Structures are given as C-alpha cells and as structure tokens.
Amino acid sequence: MDLLTALDALFVEFEQALAGAASLESLEALRVDALGRKGRLARIMSRLPELAAQARPAAGQKANSVKERCTALFEERANALLAARESAALKRFDPTLPGRTPWRGSLHPTTLITEEICAVFTAMGFDIVSGPEVEHDYYNFEALNMPAAHPARDMQDTLYITGQMLLRTHTSPVQVRSMLVRRPPLSVIAPGKVYRRDSDVTHTPMFHQIEGLVVGNLINFAHLRGTLTTFVCAVFGSRTKVRFRPSFFPFTEPSAEVDISCSLCGGTGHVAGGPCRVCKATGWVEILGCGMVDPTVFAAVDYPDSVSGFAFGMGVERVAMIRYGINDLRMFFENDTRFLTQFVRG
C-alpha cells in the first residue's frame, strides 16, 4: 500500500475503532497505537524517503491533517465518555443522605486556662509579653539574684544546651527582659513553656508557667495581695479563701506562697469517699509563688532605688488541675481526645 493510501486507511480505521471503544482507557490505548511516538502514523511516515523528493511536502501535509482529524475525533469521543460517566455518577448520588459532620477540634485545657488567666490580668491593665525558651544563664539565674553556685539553682533541674545557654526553667527571665526594654511604671504578664529535668507522676520535662511583674512608685505588699486575690476570685470563684504563707525566692524579698481553699472539698479536707486527694486532706492547695522584687534584681536592670514592685509565678497545669479537678498531670500530655474535648471556654 502506498504511503498516501496508508494514511487514508489509518484515519478510517481509527474512526471505526473509536466508535467501538467503551472506556476512556481503551480510547487512550487506541490513540497511542495510532498517533503515539512509535504508533502507526510514525511508522507510515518513516517510509517518507520512498517518495520522490517533490512528492514529500504534500505527504507531510496529509500526515498532519490526518493527525489533526484523528486527535479531534479522539477528543470528541473522550468528552462524550466523560460526560456519560458523570451523569451515571449523578444518578447514583442520593441527595437525601445526611451530610458528614466535620470533626471539630477543641482548645487544650492548658490553652484555655492560660487565656483565661491572661484575660483576668489584661482587664487589670497588664500587658502580655514573651521571651525565648532557649535562654541565657544570665537572664534565667544571674540577673535574678542566683549567681553561679547559688544553692537555689539546685531547686531547678536545668537542661543545658551549650555553655551558658539553657532551656529556661521558669518564666521569671521575662521579668528581666521586660525591665531592660521598658521604664517604670510597668505591669506585664508572661505566659510560656518552661523546662526541667524532671519526670514523674507530678512532673513533666516541659510545662507552662505564667509570670507577672508590677513596678512603679510606692508599690507595696497590699497591691500584691489585692491583685492576686482578685485573680484567685476571678478564676476559682468569689468564695475562695486565700492565704499568704512566708516563703523564699532569691529574686523577691519578702517572698510568699499563696494557697487557696481546695475547690474539690470546699476547704473541708474531706469528700464523700474519705480524705480529699487534691489537697491531701489539708483543705488548702498551693497555687503560686510571689513577693516584692528584690533590690538586687532592680540593680541588675539599672532601675533607680526609688522604684518598688511585686512579682509572681504560677504553673498553668497546676491551676488547671485544681480548677477542673484533674488528679493526674500526665493527662495533659497524652493527647487522648476523649479527655481533651471535655473542656470548653468558661
């Protein structure tokens, strides 16, 4: 068969074969067989040198036209098959079926409590600030009146990175950083992650704290008491009792720890089944440490002697445990959604 007749035959046979193809896959197979790089058209055209030189351009044009017409036919047929496939799918679609309810996430109790505590303090005029989790020894210890070899450093099992760099053991370094960039008066609150080399039923290597700092003229212990009592009543209810117990922190003098009446047993120390687990039958639970900023800390940030201030720090998971009556700290970190989805914004 001469080359031009072979081209005509290719078109006719391709058209017939397409008409018989029932699926997109077999359609594509036919296209490859006829027009593909090693297909029939390519094989026919490889015989071009058989023709006299002056007959070749016409043969080339014919080959192009056959290719174009075959492609057009292929597309027409493919579109028809696609449309048929879609309308078959639509016929199977049952619009009366109930929709799929998307799974809704929820905020982690640590996030909820952090937001709630921050809202209480911002309502009192505090600014929210933050600092780095990878911290320099100077801000975490030194400037907070804990020079190298200070025994208080032992209280905080530190995770060191290299040399002077460490994972902050508390949010108190943000106090120092805030005072270095602001002038008094100031009132800031600093929520964030802290790290300690500690892991058991009541300790995790990472947990959350919120630090607070107020500095100004004539700030005294009454301001501290008033501010923290307001906070306790806002988060735990206005009938909650608050007590300040003398304590020690290197960066405050005097220092105190704050206990509140146990919300599980109402401060009685006993629940229906016996002694209260949350407060270990004492009726009180400790929720934070606080005190008047030590003058040594003010000196480290070059604040004048005339200012005074108070600071406090609390563990967020601890506040959440007391508030929600959770007795196992590990629940916060196991990512069990049955536990996590129970908490809603209060």
Residue list for the binding site for Mg(2+): 253
- We find the least distance from the C-beta atom of residue 138 to ligand DAH, in angstroms, to be 16
- Cα–Cα distance measured from residue 316 to residue 192, given in angstroms and rounded to the nearest whole number: 9
Q: Which is nearer to ligand DAH, 77 or 170 (CB)?
A: 170
Tell me which residue has its CB nearest to ligand DAH: 313
Contact 227, 220 (CB under 8 A): no
Q: Which is nearer to ligand DAH, 276 or 320 (CB)?
A: 320
Closest Cα partner for 184 from 215, 211, 219? 215
- We find the least distance from the C-beta atom of residue 145 to ligand DAH, in angstroms, to be 11
Binding site for ligand DAH (CB under 6 A): 170, 172, 211, 249, 252, 289-291, 311-313
Please give the helix or strand (H or E) that residue 114 lies within, else none.
Answer: helix 109-123
Q: Which is nearer to ligand DAH, 332 or 343 (CB)?
A: 332
Q: Which is nearer to ligand DAH, 267 or 315 (CB)?
A: 315
Q: Which residues of 274-283 are buried (b: 16+ CB within 10 A; e: fewer)?
A: eebebbeeeb
Q: Which is nearer to ligand DAH, 147 or 237 (CB)?
A: 147
DSSP letters along 312-332, please? EEEEHHHHHHHHHT---GGGG
- We find the least distance from the C-beta atom of residue 195 to ligand DAH, in angstroms, to be 11
Q: Which residues pair with 166 in a beta bridge?
A: 135, 160
Query: How far apart, in Å, are the Cα atoms of 213 and each of 101, 108, 240?
Result: 45, 26, 23
CA 314 to chain centre: 22
Q: Which is nearer to ligand DAH, 11 or 284 (CB)?
A: 284
Closest Cα partner for 224 from 255, 261, 179, 268? 255
- We find the least distance from the C-beta atom of residue 268 to ligand DAH, in angstroms, to be 28
- We find the least distance from the C-beta atom of residue 288 to ligand DAH, in angstroms, to be 7
**3-state class (DSSP) for residue 170:** coil
